[in-house]
Amino acid sequence: MDVEAALEKFHSLKVSEIMPRLDTMPIVTADSDLLNVLKLLRTRHHVWVVKDRESMKLVGVIRYMDVIDILLPPESHRFKLGMTSRSMRSLLGGATKAEDVADRHPLTIEEEATVLDALIKMRRYKAQVLAVVEGERLVGEISLRILIDEFLRLLRVGGAQWKG
């Protein structure tokens, strides 16, 4: 298998075939204490927020970079017109739970989508990770790291050689 054939196979894979198991993903419930979320973000780039473990309804995502807003005082978010929604995402602005700071519009993709669909969406929105959903239910995630790992695995398994 050459690199072109490996890429073709890679692009046609379903997201559901390569996404990690739910129990390995960084997931918290909406009512999770914000300090516990911060502890998770010391070693993860994001944390998914779900309504509860039973429904797994996706509420949002908290990214590593969001920690800056959480730690800044509310005044640092103010504009001439007063408080912004970001100021409410600060610990000093009253945020105490995961749902208080979660981005309520996480990028999602259906589990039957292909790797090519995921790559196109990632490029369009400059995102490194997508929530894999079935309706409103979080069923997995797909990240650039997972995609790189899978492509390299395909190359090794297929014995592809770079011609360059």
pLDDT value, residue 89: 79
The residue with greater pLDDT, 94 or 145, is: 145
What integer is the mean pLDDT of 29-55?
Answer: 97
* CB-neighbour burial class of residue 148 (10 A; exposed 0-12, middle 13-18, buried 19+): exposed
Q: What is the CA radius of gyration of the chain?
A: 19
Give pLDDT, residue 115: 98
Q: Is the pLDDT of residue 145 over 90?
A: yes
Share of the chain above pLDDT 90, in %: 74
For the cut 80, the answer to whether the pLDDT of residue 88 exceeds it is no
Predicted pLDDT of residue 107 = 98
Per DSSP, the three-state class of 6 is helix
- H or E, element range at 133: strand 129-134
Please report the domains of the chain, with CATH numbers, ordered by start residue.
Answer: 3-158 (3.10.580.10)
